[in-house]
Structure 1
Amino acid sequence: MTEKQTYDITRRTVLAGLGTVGVAAAGAGLGTTALFNDREGFVGNSLTAGRLDLQLDYKASYYGPSEEWEIIGQAPTEQQLIDQGLIDMAEGPMTWEERADLGFACDTEGFIDGEEIPVFELDDVKPGDCGEVTVSLHICDNPAYLWMRGSVYDDLDNGLTEPEAEVDDTPDVGELAENIDVTLWYDEDCSNTITEGAGTSDILVVQDISGSMEYDQYGGEISDGMGGTTTKLAVAKDAAGDFATIVFDETADTEIGVFTFGNEDYIGDDQAPGVVFGPSGVEADVQNAISSIQAVPEGVTGTALGLAVQEGDSYLSANARSGAQKIMILLTDGEQFESNVDELQAANDAKAGGTRIIVIDINDPGAGEPQLLKDMAGTAVNNPGDGDGTDYYNTSADDLAIVLPNIYQSIIESVVVGEVVFFEGTLAEFNDAASSGFKLEALPLLGQADEDDEYCFLPGTHCVAMKWCVPVEVGNEIQTDSVSFDLDFAAVQCRHNGENANPFDNGSSGSA
């Protein structure tokens, strides 16, 4: 931002709706039509403002009289998702990870986009009760800084009952806010629970280099997200390189290797241009290995997915450090073709041996073999159809250039460094810390080079979670007390914004 132009942050939405500005360049000529003449020009130029739109969805749960966690609110509702064809008729409630894996578009009906809604409306809270809300923040189209504000108000005593009067002599001051414990964390895998970091980990990127990743006749040519074209393999290499850069810039005890595959003749480095490398903790060597990745020769067909998992896991197990968690990132755009090694059996064998498999599936939602890839992903040995989407990521080829970097960022946060609690204390203390607004960190556990070095949230879905509990040891001092609180979020563009000023300084907000 500059001193000459300011931006007003509306409720959760920063929308540049400037329309189209046309700039026409007219040519000029002299002389008559009998003389040679020529006219050149650049005409029909147009500029269209981009969009930065922050939309929310959420799921709220309550642990109360039933002594079980129960869903008490969510948006969009499952019926709204069914009506829009995003899911089939559900046999039971979806897990939050399954909802996050849907890859909501920014025009999904049911998102919170400007309206203010209550998440919790409870009138009989007792010691031992808890609540949890996971908020999914959907950043549409452009990278953004994210800010959050927490405001506590109407902390009321509502008079004194006889038992309360024996322990409370302040009839005009409520005690509930100071007796509710609150925890907030970056829930990047949207699981409603805090995921610990992997600690020491050795990661093998198992990269599909079959013809459909590169050649136009097989669907390898895609949009680069900026009006041009690129290939799936080029995007995959760039994203893997950026992933390695961030990992090695920080303090995570992680090494990275590369293993490529096409058909059964192009597994690892059996034939050029196959690559087998690492895992290594030397960034330059890892980057060289990634940059050397090439597609199989044009005309070579087949995708040996099962054999790639089998051989990749064998290589990782032989070269991983003692005590390191083995992680395989399997990126593919195709179904198995011209190969006889059973994919699920190969994945189950790897997982039984301690390897965690993260699958990145480049296909339109529902296309290809998504259930098989979900069965292959994760750490659990699965029967066909058992995979619940844990460690499974999906993006269409059209969206790959935008979505794949976001997927790798999620892997960094949830696998390499884990999720981070960014506040623990009472609800009253949360108000003191957050009522003026504070910046959310895109990579919270990775130590930035200095305080001025910031990361943007990429377009896509990011989750923040809040859990509150009334400790069982709290007594009569909270009888009949009540409290209200708001959670507000704001997005501010990253581009040309070195200042990243607090958008809540002027009172603008959007309540969740």
Structure 2
Amino acid sequence: MTDKGIGLSRRKMLAGLGAVGVASAGAGLGTTAYFSDDESFEGNTLTAGELDLKMDYRMTYRGGPGRLGELQENYPNATFVDEDMEPTDDDTGVYLLDQVPNRTEYPGAEDWVIGANGVYDPETGEGEGFQRDELIDAGDLEDALIRIGDVKPGDYGEVTFSTHLYDNPGYMWMGGMLTDENQNGYTEPEIEALEEMGDPTDDPDGDGQLADSIRAKIWYDDNCDNVHQGERDEESEGVDVMLSIDNSGSMGGGPGSKMEQAKAAALDFVENLGPNDRVGLVTFESTGQLRQGLTSTHSNVETYLQPEPAGISDAGRTMMDAGVDLAADELNDNGRSGVDEVIILLGDGEPNESDRAGSDHVQNAKDAATDAKNDGITVFTIGLGVSNGSTAQNTLIDMASSSNGTTLYYDSPTGTDLDDIYSQISSVILTGEEVIAEGTLREVMTALEAGIELDANVQSEERICFTNSVTRCFGFEWELPTTVGNEIQTDSVEFAIGFAAEQCRHNDGETNPYAPDDSNGTNDGNVTNGGNATGTA
């Protein structure tokens, strides 16, 4: 695992620190689903629509070896995971504490992301996605989500939340607050450390130093890999990226077709490239075509992505292996040394033609992707309108690369989701995943207390609603740095994190549910609405 985010590799303890008492962190989740006023006519009656915000999550902790038994007192299902987040019997000092849903068929991180990206159809019983009734809101939580005692300098924890909107698109906000913090008296080493820092030692019932010592960060985890992809250096040499777009007959033609939606979303992606980024374009139908090799003149690619009758159009079958091989050949032959090489492949169906030998078109497409990945190329795949659990979807999932144990496959049930999906991929490979709040735990919670607007497409100038068909991930990490000493002994802190949603239709997204109540200057309670749970060890 690379050292990204807040000190992922810093797990050692301070030498000569002495016995550190209980420094515990408690957290809770809150979800608020604002009632929708969407009506539909059914047999001459008016039926109110719904807006339901649910979440799944996966929570890990890096606290050093030998703590499994202790952690299992609070998390009975806690287990070891390796550096790729996969379950292991080895004492790695990295622990998977909890996850929702907790299905036996999703033991590993890769399968977990497939479940989060898929959509389960309750009417047919088909689909790889999580089922609505096994997801959570705050009222489902009987205990605080994070409840770890004996936290020591160097300890690190991370939770990735995936949000699921049902029935209607919605504007979303994130909120939070410190709910309690305690000095819990003083130990002799703590008094000595505080006196050396010039801090008072006469308030054993005070707040303590833990909230100001813990570092925290919240971000759009656009590839759901539990790691923050930081902002790219302005002097970076850029990225070499090949777009590979299905233009088979099933993509259709004319306004509103999958072909036109795919071109429009890819065009927005290209327009967001930086001056040091190079881009090329491959299309595939009954044959594969290299439309444009890698170029810094982005307009050369944009020409092919213009609305009908200009640009590429639909025709023929689906030779997906050529869509990968041509893109990989261009990167291998003309890519720049030391620069990240990426293929973003969009498909809407199962491969039914091959450029490679043999008649197993699906396997040929998978083999082409495997060869590209073996050459050091990162492969993102997008399934446009593919059926859940279908061969087409599973093929694209298998073709995608992995990052920190997660599969870089994005499911787009409709073409209207593509802009948001390309924006997420852009955040991962181009601009870096956007930070929502970071600093000390106190600073992050103070920022959240006022409520922060969330945006489904951070590259758009306008705030975009979150669709009710695409799962989105948000990461929260905390760390007690190794530079912290005995001043935090026995301290504890509790905090709450919440999400709120409001239907997009008939609303403008201007009413912040976490904003202070003008009548009394306090928060209106949405952070704790839905049964926020907090707790200390």
TM exceeds 0.5? yes
Deviation at 1:146, TM superposition (A): 2.0
Query: Where does residue 377 of structure 2 map in the other structure?
Result: 355
Match of 1:86 in 2: none
Q: Cα distance 1:53–1:230, how it changes in 2: closer, same or farther (>3 A)?
A: farther
Whether the aligned pair in 1 keeps the contact of 2:106 and 2:112 (CA below 8 Å) is: no
Aligned to 1:108: 132
Question: In the alignment, which residue of structure 2 is the partner of 1:314?
Answer: 329
Aligned pair in 2 of structure 1 residues 249, 20: CA closer, same or farther (>3 Å)? same
SS at match of 2:209: coil
SS, match of residue 134 in structure 2:
coil
Residue 70 (1) aligns with residue 108 (2): no
The Cα shift of 1:193 comes to: 0.7
- 2:466 matched to 1:457? yes
What whole-Å deviation, never above 9, does each CA across 1:311-367 have from its counterpart, x for those lacking one?
333346567678764432222211343554433443344344453322223532332
Matches within 5 A, 1:48-447: 49-66=48-65, 68-79=93-104, 89=105, 97-103=113-119, 108-115=132-139, 117=141, 118-168=144-194, 169=201, 170-173=203-206, 174-196=208-230, 200-214=238-252, 234-245=257-268, 247-248=270-271, 254=277, 256-263=279-286, 266-268=287-289, 280-282=297-299, 285-288=303-306, 291-296=310-315, 302-315=317-330, 325-332=340-347, 333-337=349-353, 339-341=355-357, 342-362=364-384, 363-368=386-391, 372-378=395-401, 390-394=407-411, 399-401=413-415, 403-444=417-458, 446=459
The one-letter amino acid paired with 2:165 is: I
Kept after mapping to 1: 8 A contact 2:259/2:314: no
Give the residue type in structure 1 aligned to 2:441: L
Residue 79 (structure 2) aligns with: none
Q: Number of residue pairs matched? A: 433
Corresponding residue for residue 74 of structure 2:
none
Residue identity matched to 2:289: G
- Give the secondary structure class of the aligned counterpart of 1:343: helix
**Counterpart position of 1:34:** none
Contact residue 171 and residue 509 of structure 2 kept, 8 A: no
Note the C-alpha offset of 1:179. Answer: 1.6
Per-residue CA deviation, residues 421-479 of structure 1 (Å, 9 max, x unaligned), is: 333321122233222222234344x4x65xxx433333321111111112233232222
482 and 13 in structure 1: CA distance in 2 versus 1, 3 angstrom threshold: same
Q: Give the partner amino acid of 1:285.
A: T
- Tell whether the 8 Å contact from 1:13 to 1:114 is kept in structure 2 after alignment: no
Deviation at residue 189 of structure 1 after TM alignment = 0.9
Residues 126 and 202 of structure 1: CA distance in aligned 2, closer, same or farther (over 3 Å)? closer
Aligned residue type for 1:457? F
- Distance in 2, matches of 1:76 and 1:432, equals 30
Counterpart secondary structure, 1:165: helix
The answer for unaligned runs of 5 or more in structure 2 is 1-29, 67-92, 121-128, 195-200, 358-363, 518-523
Give yes or no for contact 2:252–2:259 (8 Å, CA) kept in 1: no
Amino acid in the other structure paired with 1:292? G
Change (3 A) 1:248 1:288: same
* Alpha-carbon contact 2:168-2:503 (below 8 Å) kept: yes
Q: Is the CA contact (8 Å cut-off) linking 2:263 and 2:306 kept in structure 1?
A: no
Q: Does 59-68 or 278-287 show the bigger shift? A: 278-287
Q: Which whole-Å deviations, capped at 9, do the CAs of 1:216-262 have from their partners, x for residues lacking one? A: xxxxxxxxxxxxx998xx22431431342255267575455432222
Aligned equivalent of 2:33, options 13, 19, 32: 13
State the distance in 2 between where 1:49 and 1:319 align.
57
Question: In 2, Cα distance between the equivalents of 1:379 and 1:108?
Answer: 26
**Could you say if the C-alpha distance between residues 90 and 347 of structure 1 is closer, same or farther in structure 2, counting changes exceeding 3 Å?**
closer
Judging changes above 3 Å, is the alpha-carbon distance between structure 1 residues 312 and 47 closer, same or farther for their aligned structure 2 residues?
farther
Contact conserved, 2:382 with 2:410, CA < 8 A, in 1?
Answer: yes
Separation of aligned partners in 2, 1:60 and 1:388: 14
Quick check: 354-363 or 93-102, which moved more? 93-102
- CA root-mean-square deviation: 3.7
Q: Structure 1: where are the runs of 5+ without partners?
A: 1-9, 23-43, 80-88, 216-228, 270-274, 381-386
Q: Where does residue 36 of structure 1 map in the other structure?
A: none
Whether the 8 Å contact between 1:139 and 1:458 is mirrored in structure 2 is yes
Please give the TM-score of this superposition, normalised by the length of structure 1.
0.72
Mapped to 2, the partners of 1:324 and 1:370 lie a distance apart of 30
- What is the deviation of 1:485? 0.4
1:501 aligns with 2:516: no
**Corresponding residue SS for 1:112:** coil
- Relative to structure 1, the CA distance from residue 411 to residue 373 in structure 2 (aligned partners, 3 Å threshold; closer, same or farther) is same
- Are the aligned partners of 1:374 and 1:389 in contact in 2 as well (CA < 8 Å)? no
Distance 1:167 1:249, change over 3 A: closer
Q: After superposition, what is the alpha-carbon deviation per residue over 1:398-439, rounded to whole angstroms, capped at 9, x for unaligned?
A: x33454444333222223322123333211222332222222
**SS in structure 1 at match of 2:281:** strand
For the pair shown, the structure with the greater C-alpha radius of gyration is 1
Distance 2:293 2:306 in 1: 10
